[in-house]
Amino acid sequence: MADKNIIRILTENGLRVTPQRTAILEAIMNLHTHPTADDIVQYLRSSHTNIPHGTVYKILDKFVTTGIIQKVKTDGDLLRYDAVKARHHHLYSSVNNSIEDFYDDELDKILSDYFEKKEIPGFIVEDFKLQIIGKRENNPENKRENNPGNKRENNLSGNTKINNQ
């Protein structure tokens, strides 16, 4: 039996409640990793072996168009999905491509004030989300060989400079 919250989300968005839709939405909500479609298929493999990849992609597209979830595109053009509706930004690991949610009301206010005062010619800002790229301190995965694209150099002022080659 599907979670009552999942059934409510589907019905409030005008979607029929099907075993495939409930399983996929449950997977997205349980995988707090901003999963890819393949991550979702892997998660479902043990309990829902009969859901084809094509069905997963179609349901994800339907969830996106109805606003149940959002697409999150990473630097490597890897498409992930996010079910969190509250305003938040993303911490994107340059080491292992993981994404974490980042909440900061002060940052939101700074960005909101900025876009209220500053116009972008020919563009209406409707929303903003930051993707903050970096890596966790003291993480053994941070070894340079894991991420050869970013080479760090210290300049004379002591500041760290990032060279993307």
Query: Taking the domains of the chain in order of start, what are their residue ranges?
Result: 1-84, 86-165
Name every residue whose Cβ is closer than 8 Å to that of residue 30 and which is 6 or more positions away in sequence.
43
Given this model, what pLDDT does residue 16 score? Answer: 96
Which position has the higher pLDDT, 131 or 148? Answer: 131
Token digits for 127? Answer: 């929303």
Rounded CA Rg of the chain? 19
Q: Averaged over 123-146, what is the pLDDT? A: 78
Q: Which CATH architecture has domain 1-84?
A: Orthogonal Bundle (1.10)
Task: For residue 44, give the nearest of 75, 59, 23 by alpha carbon.
Answer: 23
**Which H helix or E strand runs over 43?**
helix 37-44
Quick check: 21 pLDDT over 90?
A: yes
Quick check: 53 pLDDT over 70?
A: yes
Given this model, what pLDDT does residue 163 score? Answer: 38
Domain 1-84 shares a fold with domain 86-165: no
Tens-place pLDDT, residues 88-133: 888 988 888 788 889 999 999 999 999 989 888 999 998 888 888 8
Which position has the higher pLDDT, 1 or 38? Answer: 38
Given this model, what pLDDT does residue 139 score? Answer: 72
81 DSSP assignment = E
Given this model, what pLDDT does residue 69 score? Answer: 94
CATH code given to domain 86-165: 3.30.1490
